[in-house]
Structures are given as C-alpha cells and as structure tokens.
Structure 1
Amino acid sequence: MRSHKSVLVVVVLYLLGLTVNLTVAKAHSSVVEQSRLLAKRILRVHNNPNENDEERVIGAAVSSVASHLTTGALKVADFVKLRTWLYHQKSVDDMLDTLLLTGKMDDIIQNPNLKLLDNYVDMFNNKYPEQKISLVKTLAARHGDIDLAIKLSRAKEYSNTKDIATKLQTQQLEGWFNSKKTVEDVFSLLKIKEEGTRFVFSRKLETMDSYIRMFDVRNPQQKTDKYKVLCDGFGGEDKFAIVISQAMKRPLTALEAVKYHYVMFNRWFAKDYDPMTVLIKVFKYSEDDVAKALPEEKLVKDTYKLLYNREMGIFDHAVVTGHRR
C-alpha cells in the first residue's frame, strides 16, 4: 500500500509539473500553490493508519486533482485567449462570431462565452480608454433595443444569468441616459403603447421602471410621474383610461391592471371629480354633450361612479350633484 501511495505522489507531482510547464507565467504561482496544497493532502493520507480510509481518501484526492487541473487549464486557456484577442485588438462584432454568440438573444445570454467576451471588453477598455468598445451596443445593433431589453429583464430572474444580465441592462440604461433620453423617449423607444392592454405585464414596462429609478436618482429635482408618462404615452388620460378599463375586463390582465385602475380613480377623487365631471374633464365633453359619450367612455364613468358613491357614502340611485371645476 505504501508503494502504491508513493507511486501516486510521483504521478500527481508529475502531472502538476506538466501543468506548470504548460501555463503562462502569470498563472505559475497559482498552480504551484495548488501543488503545495495537494502535497499536504497526500501526506495526511500517508499518515492515516486506516488502510480503507486511505484508499477512499486517495481516490477523492485523485478526483480533486483532476478537477483542479481541468479548472486551472480552462482558466489558463481563457487567459491566453483574452491576451491574444487584446493583442490583435479584436472588435466585439468579430468576437461575437468567433465565439458563436449568434442566433437568439435567449441563447446568447445563457452561453458562458458571453461572460468571456464581457471580460475581454473590460480588458480592452482598461488598456485602450480612448477607443472604448461596447458589448451592449453591439448586441443592440444586432438584435434591437427592444429584444435586448426584454431578454435581459427575463434573464435577471435566473441565478446562472442574473449577474451578466444585470450588468448589461445597467449599461443599456446608462447608454440611454447618456444620450439624454427622457422617460417619455424610452416609453416610445420600447413601443409600450403597441402592447395595448398587455403592457401591464410586459417586460418592456419593467425596463422602463428600471430607467425611471436610474433617471430619478440622477435627476432628483425631476421626480418622474409614472402615471403621467403612461397617460401621455397612450395619447392622453382619456385613452389611457379606456386601455385600463379594457384590461380590467380581461382575466389575463385584470390582476396587474387593478393597481393602475385605483391610482387613476384616486387621482380623480382627489381632484373632486364626480362621475359626470370625468366625462367633462377627462373625455373633453361639454355639459350639453355628455350624452354623446362613447360606450367605452361611459363604462369608465360608471365604474368610477361605484368608487365615488362608496367614498361619498351614497348608497341609492339619487343623482349626484357634482363639484365641477
């Protein structure tokens, strides 16, 4: 058994010697340290009086060595790749193709090579600060801001892609901020209006919310009114009220729509709008023309009336006298 262990020590040290010879200079100290730790582990095995335990620990040691060598070799290989690309000043476009980071954004985000490319971009920008390159801009140019934003928002929810997705989303938002985009600009850029009632659970809205948080932190004097952004984005409060009313009728969107529904009604109540005033102030009818209101507009008014009457303590069908302004 002792001769067996001696052979193992020799084999392991030989393998470590090969690894050291194959690594680049910057990886040398790391591999040597691994060999020292391994030698200590083997010596502990050598002094163990229990032969069965020795064999089990030896087997575990060999597996551990193989794992360390594989991981170390991969890290060294990646390091060599990065240095080679940096030497040749490879563009992000070239590297996306070289690393097969093509196809759907979902697949690209899940590909480990994306993190490798991100490391290359960081190295390049540190070495050449006057000619910085951008991974997120290149991805946006290839896939579009919308698709990129949606996929990054989703990828943030998974542990294996959260870090890289969060980093790239932050860079995308910073790019918009640095190009002087307002929250309204981002609403239009993401085409949230085109989602219709589905906007309430759209990944686009999550991206806009993230931009609002960044925008408000960097512009504390310009606190964003999200409700106003949505109203303006949908073409006015009257249009937005109808979208929310329609969303409330659909099972798939009702749960998310209800929060906008109450924000809208609470604002009207705070402004002392009675149901008829909603037709005048929101839907822009004169007092003589309220009867001409469209069915979807009357539905908004009638739904608001339920809240208004409850808050005012009105429990019968009496005509409400408005406090119009």
Structure 2
Amino acid sequence: MESSYEKLNFEFVDKEKKAAQESIRPSVSYWQDAWRRLKENKVAMISMVTIFVIVILAIVGPYISKFDYSSNDLINSNQYPDKVHWFGTDELGRDLFVRVMYGARISLSVGFVAAFINLTIGILYGGISGYLGGRVDNLMMRIVDVIYSIPMMLYVILLMVVLGKGLTNVFITLGIVYWGNMARIVRGQVLSLKEQEFILAAKAAGAKKSRIILRHLIPNCMGQIIVTLTLSIPGAIFTEAFLSFIGLGVSAPMSSWGTLCNDALSIFKTHPYQLFIPAIAICITMIGFNLFGDGLRDALDPKMRK
C-alpha cells in the first residue's frame, strides 16, 4: 500500500539542493549597514578623505616648512610662490604656506569646539525638553524661539564686540548661540520615541528619568545627531572666518583663513594669490564637510536600508 506522501507526489529534498535554494544574507548591525552604504557613496568617501588630509596638514603642516608663521622678512615681502616659499609671502614677508596651515588649525579648532558645545548643550537641552513635555517643554522651546528670532550672526557680532577679540572669546560666543538647531532636532526625535514600548518598559522597570534620557532616548537619536553635528562644523568655520575678516576674530600675529583674506584685500589686484589661497582652503573645507554630511545622512537613514 502506497504511503500518503507517495500519493501526493511529495519528494524529500536533500541538503545540497536545499542549501542551493536558500539565499543567505549575513546578519549586520545598523552601524555596519550604514558604513556599507557610506562606502558605496564615492562622493562622501572622497569628501571624508579630503577632510582627513586637511586635518593632518593642519597638525603637521607648520612643521614641514622651516619658516615661522609670525616671523617678518621685509626683504622678501610679496613674493610669488616658488621653491622656497610654496604659497609665496605676504606684505610682511611671512611665509604664506605656514600661515595657511596654521590658519587651518585655528579654523578647524573653532569648528570642532563649536560642534562639541553644540553636541553637549543641544542634546541635554533638547532631550530634557522633549522628555518632560508640557509647560517645561513650552518654556524651554520659547527660549530657543527667542534666540532664533534674531539672526545668529548679529548675536555673534554683538557678543564679540562686548567680549573683545580672541580665540577663547570666539569659542564662548559660538557656544552661547550655536546649540539651538541641535536642541530642536533632539527634541523632535525624543518626542517621537518617548511613547515607544521600550521606553514604557524602562519606566515599568523603575528607571530614573536621567537614565531613560541618557541610556535609551539619546542613543536612538544618534543618527540625526551625527548628521547635524557634521553639517554644523562648516557653519562654525565660516562664522569664524567672517569674524576674522571683519576684524573681530583672532588677534595678530595669530592667523586664521578669514584673517588671511582680510590682509590680502589691500593688495588683491597686484597679488591675487594671497586672497585666492585661503579662500580656496575655506571652500574646499566647507564643501568637504557638507558633501560628507549629505552622504552620512543617506547612510544613516533607516528607509535606505536594504
């Protein structure tokens, strides 16, 4: 008598055929998948390498040349680029290559310090506002609205006039007014996450509010936080360059890219290279950070995950 399997024409599949029909996809984490997508974005990877090269040059560049950024040599003033002075010299005979590399230190340090302050204040302020909600949220967001009601550049100029020139005062000024956008983004993310099941489970387990914000909500906002942080760095660099350009930035003999552009204005028609070189450095840095930020945003978007 035939078995029921034979009547229904069932056939047992051996292990080789079964393995051939299976499509196996290795298990990857969210960050591993984001890194894979970022590597596929050639523009973002080129931008990341460009940023890395600029940072390395800012660190070691001043040590490559035998010249000092503040030493005057009036005999060799306004020399065009040659084998000795790779970027030429300014009107005081100072080597422009060393000053551009040293200016990269100043400009990048402003960008990174402003980003760190933006990260610290913005995350805590936005996280607390979004999680507590109610009157606390309304009050905290109204403060941000007041800050946003006046153009940020006007705040920065007024604060620099009050505090005076200097790199430290640039850090303080940007730290006071630069965190508003981060706070808004973090607040929006927290508002969308705080009613999720894992937050309710943490509350049921007796977790404190500070632990829920720092250990559960903020880590789940890291995608948006990293993208916002990356895109805020070129804005801080441009703000510092503008302040130095109008004479409110770093003090002489320190040089930033904005200071170099300002110094070259008076002799721009006869020695245009003194303006073009620092201006090109600003453009390359800002484009690099913006393109890298765009690629990072696409890589960290869960909707793009395959």
Q: Is this a same-fold pair by TM over 0.5?
A: no
Q: More relative contact order in 1 or in 2 (CA 8 Å, sep 6+)?
A: 2
TM-score by length of 2: 0.23
Name the one with the larger helix percent: 1
